[in-house]
Structure 1
Amino acid sequence: MSPKMGRPVIGNPKTNDIKVRLDDETHNKLLEYCKEKGITKAEAVRQGIHLLLRK
């Protein structure tokens, strides 16, 4: 069997995933933020984690 086909991962691969439950208000705020910044929800969560760790 040949190795897995597809594009090679460049940089730091994102192999871990999490599930988060949000109320409607928080989810809408997240969507609004992502639209303003032009980023994905996952990227917004990553940025939020980094902000928490800087304190």
Structure 2
Amino acid sequence: MSSKKMGRPPSNNPKGKKIEIRVDQEIMNKLDASAEKLNTTRSNIVRIGIEKVYDELQK
């Protein structure tokens, strides 16, 4: 029997940090609509937004 673990392989960029935010229904609707339109997750939409703001601040 192999000593390798079963399951998902380790990620090159693990996402171990967690944030929690409070939003109103309008923001949640916009987040859900964006995620659906881009066929991605809510978390990924938030990551994209953070990258955009950060890039703008670097200019």
- TM-score of the aligned structures, taking structure 1 as reference length: 0.84
How many residues are treated as equivalent by the alignment? 54
Give the drift of 1:5.
5.3
Q: Give 5+ residue unaligned stretches, structure 2.
A: none
Give the drift of 1:7.
1.9
Give the drift of 1:8.
2.4
Which of 1 and 2 has greater Rg? Answer: 2
What does the per-residue CA deviation read over 1:1-44, in whole Å, with 9 as the maximum and x for residues that have no partner? xxx75322121000001001010001001100100000100000
Q: Which 4+ residue blocks in structure 1 deviate beyond 2 angstroms? A: none
Moved more, 22-31 or 5-14: 5-14
**What's the counterpart of residue 35 of structure 2?**
34
Name the SS for the 1:22 alignment partner.
Answer: coil
Give the drift of 1:51.
0.4
Measure, in 1, the Cα distance between the counterparts of 2:32 and 2:20.
16
Once superposed, what is the RMSD of the aligned Cα atoms?
A: 1.8
- TM-score of the aligned structures, taking structure 2 as reference length: 0.79
Q: How high is the sequence identity, in percent, across the aligned residues?
A: 38
